[in-house]
Amino acid sequence: MKRLAFWLPPLVWMAAIVWFSGGAFSAENTGSVLRPLVRWLLPGASDAQIAALHALIRKSAHVTEYAVLAALWFVALTRERGLSRPRAAWLAFLVAVGWACLDELHQATEPSRTGSAMDVAIDATAALAAATIGRHGGGRVLDVAATVVLWAAAAGGAAVIAIDLASSVSPGVLWLTVPTAVVALVLRWRSGVARG
Q: What are the pLDDT digits (tens) for 13-36? A: 898 888 877 666 666 766 666 778
Q: What is the mean pLDDT of residues 109-136?
A: 87
The pTM assigned to this predicted structure is 0.68
* In contact, 96 and 132? CB cutoff 8 Å: no
What's the pLDDT at 92? 97
What's the pLDDT at 196? 46
CA distance 177 to 154: 8
pLDDT at 144 over 60: yes
* In contact, 1 and 186? CB cutoff 8 Å: no
Q: What is the mean pLDDT of residues 132-141?
A: 78
| Residues 158, 196, 89, 55, Cα dihedral to 10° | 40
C-beta neighbour count of 194 within 10 angstroms: 19
C-alpha count within 13 angstroms, C-beta hemisphere, residue 20: 18
* Per-residue pLDDT tens digits for 75-98: 899 988 888 999 999 999 999 999
**What's the mean pLDDT when you consider all of the chain?**
81
CA distance 178 to 7: 16
CA distance 140 to 99: 24
What's the pLDDT at 195? 46
Residue 81 vs residues 6, 78, 88, 129, 134: alpha-carbon distances, Å: 9, 6, 9, 22, 15
* Per-residue pLDDT tens digits for 162-186: 777 777 767 666 677 778 778 877 8
Closest to 3 measured CA to CA, from 73, 80, 72, 70: 80
CA distance 120 to 118: 5
* In contact, 1 and 193? CB cutoff 8 Å: no
CA distance 6 to 40: 41
Closest to 172 measured CA to CA, from 157, 151, 185: 157
What's the pLDDT at 161? 76
CA distance 113 to 73: 27
Q: What is the mean pLDDT of residues 110-135?
A: 87
